Chains A and B, each alone.
Chain A
Amino acid sequence: GENVEQHPSTLSVQEGDSAVIKCTYSDSASNYFPWYKQELGKRPQLIIDIRSNVGEKKDQRIAVTLNKTAKHFSLHITETQPEDSAVYFCAARDFGNEKLTFGTGTRLTIIP
């Protein structure tokens, strides 16, 4: 089955700086890669996703890049703000399968 690895497990950045979280996946047939943000004790919320036919997608301060050859994808947050502090999860979905496989999460802390 699919295996997703996520790094780093914790990340602290100064407010206003950029943050990058990286994930690798094992199944080359995977074709959908969402990112979720989870604040303490709350539900994960979808913040951005990318399909395998696209190399990059941006939404204001958030962007995701996908390298299918290397089987990795990354989340980029620019001009970080205190409200960006949360745990971020990446995930990958197999082709023809409804299942998502999640990474183990990155705890992002923005330092004021």
Chain B
Amino acid sequence: DGGITQSPKYLFRKEGQNVTLSCEQNLNHDAMYWYRQDPGQGLRLIYYSQIVNDFQKGDIAEGYSVSREKKESFPLTVTSAQKNPTAFYLCASSMNGERQPQHFGDGTRLSIL
């Protein structure tokens, strides 16, 4: 899974601030995903994109935004509207098509200052 790079590893957000998490992949995967992980919970889908310039909301999209201008990149912005942003954020990618496995990056841990 070395082909999926998330940065930064740790990020701190001040009140009222937007922050952007980076996700880059060199696996030539079509689809990319953002998940949020909280303690004791599974991975919850924020947004996903199956093709460049197109993306769909997941289960918890409120307070987040994404873009997919390049196949390799799928940045996630945590906006000030997300009132509880402290979590571990994971980016994943896969080939399109049924039953293709998703591969994850190392994650970004976001905390509130």
Contacts and interface: CB of A to CB of B under 8 A. Distances in A.
A89 B45 contact: no
Contact of B102 (A31, A41, A42, A100): A100
Interface stretch (B13-21, B67-75, B104-112): B104-112
Contacts of A51: 99
B104 A100 contact: no
B96 interface: yes
A22 to B, nearest CB: 15
Most chain B Cβ neighbours within 10 Å, of A31, A36, A98:
A98
Nearest to B102: A100
A110 B9 CA distance: 29
A81 to B, nearest CB: 22
Contacts of B43: 44, 89, 102
Contacts of A1: 59
A53 to B, nearest CB: 10
- Grouping DSSP codes into helix (H, G, I), strand (E, B) and loop, the B interface class, with mixed when no group exceeds half, is loop
A46 B101 contact: yes
Given A32-B98, A98-B48, A98-B94, A46 B103 contact: yes
B39 to A, nearest CB: 10
Contact of B101 (A31, A42, A43, A49): A49
A42 B98 CA distance: 26
Instruction: Report, nearest first, the 10 A-B pairs whose CB atoms are least far apart.
Output: A102-B42, A32-B99, A43-B104, A102-B43, A104-B42, A44-B104, A43-B106, A46-B101, A98-B31, A103-B42
